[in-house]
Structure 1
């Protein structure tokens, strides 16, 4: 699953001009934490290994949040296989947090 951000240069210029960088970093951290919590809450639990493997890493000096599971079978659970039905737990949380993140970033640019 990938995301392509179109207009990143323009966004960066607008953020640097109109928003305090600390507010942007706070938004990234808060939305990242909310995403991690949502993914963990939505993860199906058998042994709990998948749920425990979901981490949040803040990178690029606080401008990037990386949330994801670290088990070999995480994608099989998310997307399913021919033997097992999909049990999405990342995408639903991502879609929920994405709109909130976008809204908060738009507020900071105004």
Structure 2
């Protein structure tokens, strides 16, 4: 039960962007927004307490949320690496969903688009 977003046509967009804007500047925007998305997801990730999970580990989901850069800095990825991350995000038939990644993504997506528009307007 993975949640994946597949965007097509990125190579054409990449070519258009790179004609007028340096790859380094695009990479800076991507890196900044990836870091901000990571922090937003961590801020939203639920953490069990001794009351809700006696004797258990607390904060593993939050600590497992890590960023990575791909495509030479033109793509950022934020991933929660614990095996139960999807169950927390999506819920199960026994547990209500506690979304943390999608709300963070939805909020950061708007910021990223504004940052890219600002960069394009400034550079072109």
**Common topology (TM > 0.5):** yes
5-14 vs 60-69, which deviates more? 5-14
Q: CA RMSD in A?
A: 1.3
Provide the secondary structure at the position in 2 that maps to 1:85: coil
1:87 and 2:98 equivalent? yes
1:15-69 C-alpha deviation (Å, 9 max, x unpaired): 1111111110000100000000000000000110110011011122211211011
1:49 and 2:65 equivalent? no
Gaps of 5+ in 1: none
* Greater radius of gyration (CA): 2
1:52-102 C-alpha deviation (Å, 9 max, x unpaired): 011011122211211011111000000101111000000000000111112
Structure 2 residue aligned with 1:73: 84
93-102 vs 35-44, which deviates more? 93-102
- Normalization by structure 1: what TM-score? 0.92
- Normalization by structure 2: what TM-score? 0.82
Counterpart among 35, 38, 41 of residue 37 in structure 2: 35
> Once superposed, which parts of structure 1, at least 4 consecutive aligned residues long, lie more than 4 Å away?
none
Q: Tell me if the contact between 1:35 and 1:97 (Cα under 8 Å) persists in the aligned partners.
A: yes
